[in-house]
Amino acid sequence: MTKGDTDNEQECSSESNEGVPMVNLTVNIGIVTGEERRALEDYIDARRFTQRKSYDEYYIDSGNLELDLSISDLMILAERFKVIVNYDSVELSSMY
């Protein structure tokens, strides 16, 4: 490995950390529990949730969302939801 190879590797690694790409997120969940809502609020605007009657359950306005999500974010979401990564989008659905 030459000095030029080392410099090239450093440039590539710094480029990959510069910006997080926008992700088209499709939410395929009709009703979520209050616990799931609180987990999603870190990523989805709270105004997209509507409480279902007087229960601790919520409907989600599930149109396509453009979000900044990192691999870490997707891994956190995958702990509670089924996350499917497609070529140009990410689908989020209930585990059950």
Measured in whole angstroms, the distance separating CA 6 from the mean position of its chain's CA atoms is 33
Q: Is residue 52 part of a domain?
A: yes
pTM of the predicted structure, to 2 decimals: 0.67
| Radius of gyration of the CA atoms of the chain, in A | 18
Q: Is residue 6 part of a domain?
A: no
Q: Is residue 7 part of a domain?
A: no
Q: Is residue 85 part of a domain?
A: yes
Count how many domains the chain has.
1
Q: Is residue 14 part of a domain?
A: no
SS3 80: coil
Q: Is residue 36 part of a domain?
A: yes
Q: Which pLDDT score is estimated for 37?
A: 92
CA dihedral in degrees (30, 36, 37, 40; nearest 10)? -100
Q: Is residue 37 part of a domain?
A: yes
Q: Which pLDDT score is estimated for 82?
A: 93
Q: Are 84 and 63 in contact (CB under 8 A)?
A: no
Which residues, in sequence order, are bridge partners of residue 58?
A: 32, 51
Average pLDDT value over all residues in the chain: 78
Question: For the chain, how far is it from start to end, CA to CA, in angstroms?
Answer: 50
Q: Is residue 38 part of a domain?
A: yes
* pLDDT one-digit tens code per residue, 2-29: 454 444 433 333 344 456 567 788 888 8
Q: Could you tell me the residue range of the domain that residue 61 belongs to? A: 20-93
